[in-house]
Every structure is written in C-alpha cells, then in structure tokens.
Amino acid sequence: MKINLSKTAHFQTQIIPIAQNSNSKIVDFSGKKTETALRYEGESAKIYCGVGEQKDISSRVLRSAVARGVQIALEAKRSQVSLILSDKEWLNDELASSCIEGALLGSYKFSKYKSEPPVLLQDLEIITETLNENEVKKTKSICEAVNYTRDLVNENASTMTPEQMAKEAKTLGEELSMKVTVLDEKEIEHQKLGLIQAVGQGSVYPPRLIIIEYNGNQKEEQKIAILGKGITFDSGGQNLKPSGSIETMREDMAGGATVLGIMKSIGTLKPNSNVIGVIAAAHNAIGSTAFFPGDIYRSYSGKTVEICNTDAEGRLVLADAISYCKDKYSPSTIVDLATLTGGVMVAFADVVAGLFSNHDKVAQDLFEAGEQSGERLWRLPLYQEYSESLKSDISDLRNLSKFKRGHASSIIGAAFLKEFVEDVPWAHIDIAGTAFNEGSAKAEIPQFGTGFGVRLLVNYLLKQ
C-alpha cells in the first residue's frame, strides 16, 4: 500500500471525520459516534464519519471511525482514498496518527484462500498540514506488523507449524539484520527443556524454541525479553477438546505471532534499545506418543511438574522458555503474551486482556501503553494463596490448582508462570479473549486474528 502526504485531495473517494458540534451542513448527518454517511457528487464519493462531541474525541474514537469509513470505501470498490485531516481544530498529531491507524488496520482482509479476492486499499492520501513523513512511516510500519501478525494467526495450522514459525523468524532476521537462534527437537531434548519436549512429543510437527535478538544499543546491558506462546494447534492432547472448542485452535499461537510482529516492527524502526523475542512453538497433538495426564515431567529449571490436564499446555512451554531466557540472556524485564485461559474471557469477554505482574512499574507502563494503543489491559492479583494451590503431593508443582475446577483459572495460569520467573521484573498478558474475533469485524478489529498486542508492546518498548 502506498501512503503519501498532501495539502489537497487528488482521489475521488474522500473520508472526512466530522465532530458532532462542528455546525456542518451535511443533510441527514449529525456527526454522532459510529454514524457514517456516503454522499456521491458526480463520480466522487464523500464518506463522512461521525466522531461525537469534540470534548469526547479520543484516539480510540477516531481510529474506529476512520476504519468504518475505509470499509465503506472498499465495499464501494474504491481502492484509492483521500483521508481529510486538514481544517480540524480539534486534531493534534497523536489523534491524526490514530486516524491513519484506523485506515490501515480497518482495511485488512485475509483473502489468501478466496477465489475472488476482495478490493483492497492500494493508495492512501493523507490531507494534512501538520503531520510529517517520519511520523507517518512509523505508524505505517507498526500497522504493517499488526497485519503481518494477523496473517500468521489466520494461516492454516497445517501450514503454520513450529518449523514454519522458525522460518518466519529467520526471514525477519535476514531482512532486518537480527540474530535468530532456533532450537530444534534434538536441541530441545539436549538442553533438557522437558516441558516443551513433553507438549510437542505427540506431533509429527516437532517443537521449536525460537530466539530473535535485536541489539540497538551496544553500550546498554539492559534488555527486555518479549515471550510468546506458540501452540500452532491445540487439540487439548489426551484431555481432548470437544467440538465447539477445537475448531479455531489455530489461534493458540497468537502470542508467538505477536512476538514476530513486534520484532518485525522493532527491526524496522530501530530504536536505541535491546529487545529479545522468544517463541515457544509446539503442536499439542493427540496420539500414541502424546504426553500423559498424571505423569511428572522435569522442567528446564529443574522443577518437576505433575500434569493434571494436558490442555493446560501453554503454561508448560512458556515456563521452559522463561527459564531458558533467564539463564542464557539475563533480561532486565520479561513480558509474555499468551492465549492462556478461557477464564479471562469470562472476566473480560473480548474487550480487555488480563494483566498480571510482580512489578508495579512494569504493570503501570504496560497499562498506559494499552490505553494509548486502544488495546486495553486490566491487572488481576497474584496473592500467595494462588501459588500455594499449585503445590503437588508428588512433585514440585502441578499445572492446575487444587481449587474447584475452573476457579480463578486465569490467575492460576499466571501464578504457575510466576514460579519460574522468580525475582525478574515480569508481566504476563492473557490475550485469549482479544487475539481472535469469531464474530463479524468491529471497526479496526477484523474477523479472526486481530493482531492484539503488537501496537501495545511496540509503544511500551519505544518508551523504555
């Protein structure tokens, strides 16, 4: 997609955000939030997008309004669009960038397997008197990384295997000059990553541990590690998922896909910092070699884990990834993203992701980054009682608590990971509700893979 800045519109299709109290004279249009209107003037099409009262205008409102406008343009088979951001006294650079995000994110379609692909946005012209090229390039880079993440999540599970995720990482490394290390199944066994090995051993698609290193500041020792759960398909293992729950389980690698998107964006923007991306990739299969409920497996850290349910596998691969990352790379901060628990959807539906942390500043910084990006987080507690409930009678830990089945399930998943983090500043983001949208598109949030977390984490990393 081409993006250019201009002071006058050259395309016949124009998207125009309108405030409710702007005294506009558009017939049958008031400018209320979510209101849109398409008006034809000869061959030209003007798409008005209501953004509500000026006092209530926010990045979130503008992002969604422009996304709706772009979708109307694409439905009308218009691939060249002018976005009119001039002469808006209520618009600043941050809000203008949100409008661009709305256009780029709202135009996304996964059409790889369509015989007749839809019309896509080819040219976006920004009519502005204030935005500069660098800000537009930055916004474009981040949104392209989001859409790349969406593509990875939407791909067939038989294609996006652990090995393919490793190939994606290697491609990014070659294109953006980042070091990529991949541990295959033999190296995973040799390094005694026993939990990743257990989860992946039942599949013909063997597991991978993928590490991507971005070194933007050779003088700085501190580095932030971003970890992702990359379960490329989750059958539930021997605790097999039922119909109604298993059909969309290609989404269970969304945390790993988000890490790839983040590293793509960081490698392009090249901030003055050091970032490590780690993906624990495995296919949790049902089969004759699948790991057993009731058995005990030894983690990379040396702690033993009783498997109470093979469908609580994401915390297992992440636990080994956390311990290995700590041991080999000594990160100053760890943030992990995972489609970890259905319980987080009980709490927040698909609106907010769960945030857990052992460090108040890390949690606050992530919360603020989410408010800015519109990818909202809410922090939940990690009291000692939750950790106590994970103590096993026959091993060091169990992968489910002793609470009644399903109780505090999201907190328990995070509490399990906390046992392997120990004293490193850390946050866990449970994106099970926000990473995949089974319903229809909602403004800038498409159907299926959403790319949730890429903008949030890039914002967070750029501010550190």
| Residues marked as catalytic | 241, 315
Beta-carbon contacts of 350 under 8 Å, excluding residues fewer than 6 positions away, are 433, 434, 437
Q: Can you tell me the distance from the alpha carbon of 214 to that of 176, in angstroms, rounded to the nearest whole number?
A: 9
* Cβ 414 vs Cβ 382: under 8 Å: yes
Closest CA to 436 of 114, 153, 110, 111: 153
Tokens representing 117? 């692909």
Please report the DSSP string for 246-275 in residue order: STTGGGGGHHHHHHHHHHHHHHHH--SSEE
CA dihedral 367, 368, 369, 372 (to 10 degrees): 120
Q: Are 447 and 440 in contact (CB under 8 A)?
A: yes
Helical ranges in 330-448 per DSSP H: 343-348, 360-373, 384-388, 409-421
Q: Is 22 helix (H, G, I), strand (E, B) or coil?
A: coil
Q: Give the contacts of 43 (CB within 8 A, at least 6 positions apart).
A: 12
417 neighbors 315 (Cβ within 8 angstroms):
yes
Q: What is the DSSP letter of 445?
A: B
